[in-house]
Amino acid sequence: MIDFTVIGGPSSEQLAKKIAFKLKSKFIGCELRVFPDGESKITLKGKPSGKILVVQSIYPPVDSNLLRCLAITSQARVFSSQVYVVIPYMGYARQDRQFLPGEITTMELVAKMFKAAGATKIIVVDIHSMIALEHFHIPVKNISAVEELARHFKKMSLNFPLVVSPDKGGVERARNFAEFLGVDYIALEKHRDRKTGNVAIKSKGLEGVRGRDIILVDDMISTGGSIVKAAEFLKKQKSGKVYACCTHSLLIGDAEKNIIRAGVTKIISANTIPGKTSIVDVSPLIAKAIT
């Protein structure tokens, strides 16, 4: 057994407790106070020892949760030369390259900040792109929750299910998901306007969707735009029930309402971001990845 202390950051306390339980290790929580000017003050509720695992997801408020994660990492380094930082949802991973002239690759800066804060290893779950990982100049590990998510669907009774990725970029994920279930998969053609962020499905009428239950699989649901357009398209093709499944459900604003209105029966996600759709537990995967 490795001597670990798990520090649960304010954004991931429940998940961190589960990881600590699985590792049979000490758990330390954090007290968070937000000053009227928006500054965060974090106090560790105990003294860590051994190797340290910091667990803090970087979902909204993204910049605050990022800085809190860096602050805890930096403090952890005072107690240990080995600080593993688990970032179940890595914010900024979509800003991994320059898409339009003048854009800043903020992921590169985030990676530098973790190294500077003293992280010795970074562990993420289903990061948006592998390019994002290349910006880290310390060891990084990406864990896939796809099998765990698919396992959830295995228990359900679905009619001739078809796994669908809303875009071509997610075809590998859809393939893995479908292979686990032993069913077919396809990827739609999605276009996103890089300036407005608006999404459109470019696929034309699809053979073989009619009457089949659909599992729409994506890495994340943010505004819900991608899932809404994909679900509307599939419903027009006279599909059966449509389920939306992702690792990270940010569900910003009216996303959930809009997705249900588009005909989605249920949203199922992992607990990298806490919420009512986050029913698939990734703590066993994380505990296994670090032992």
Asked whether position 199 contacts ligand R5P by CB under 6 A, the answer is yes
Asked whether position 142 contacts ligand R5P by CB under 6 A, the answer is no
Supply φ then ψ for residue 147, to 5 degrees.
-65, -40
Nearer to ligand R5P, 58 or 287 (CB): 58
Select from 105, 103, 73 the least CA-distant residue to 87.
73
Structure-block tokens of residue 11: 């954004």
Asked whether position 122 contacts ligand R5P by CB under 6 A, the answer is no
Structure-block tokens of residue 279: 């029913």
Question: Is 236 in the active site?
Answer: no
Catalytic residue among 190, 235, 238, 288: 190
Applying CB under 6 A, which part among 115-123, 139-147, 216-224, 270-278 lies near ligand R5P? 216-224
Task: Please state, in angstroms and rounded to a whole number, the distance separating the CA atoms of residues 269 and 63.
Answer: 23
Task: Please state, in angstroms and rounded to a whole number, the distance separating the CA atoms of residues 189 and 173.
Answer: 15
Query: Which residue is associated with the tokens 């759709």?
Result: 277
Asked whether position 28 contacts ligand R5P by CB under 6 A, the answer is no
Asked whether position 222 contacts ligand R5P by CB under 6 A, the answer is yes
Figure out which of the listed residues 8, 118, 225, 240 binds ligand R5P, where binding follows CB under 6 A.
Answer: 225
How many residues of this chain bind ligand R5P (CB under 6 A)? 14
Asked whether position 219 contacts ligand R5P by CB under 6 A, the answer is yes
DSSP class per residue in 89-127 = S-TTTT-SS-SSTT---HHHHHHHHHHHHT-SEEEEES-
Cβ partners under 8 Å of residue 211, min gap 6: 159, 160, 238, 239, 240
Q: Least CB distance from residue 223 to ligand R5P, whole Å?
A: 3
Asked whether position 220 contacts ligand R5P by CB under 6 A, the answer is yes
Structure-block tokens of residue 150: 């698919």
Q: Least CB distance from residue 122 to ligand R5P, whole Å?
A: 20
Q: Least CB distance from residue 124 to ligand R5P, whole Å?
A: 15
Q: Least CB distance from residue 71 to ligand R5P, whole Å?
A: 27
Nearer to ligand R5P, 88 or 166 (CB): 166
DSSP class per residue in 26-63 = EEE-EEEEE-TTS-EEEEESS---SEEEEE----SSHH
Asked whether position 169 contacts ligand R5P by CB under 6 A, the answer is yes
* Residues at the interface with ligand R5P (CB under 6 A): 166-167, 169-170, 199, 218-226
* Catalytic positions: 190
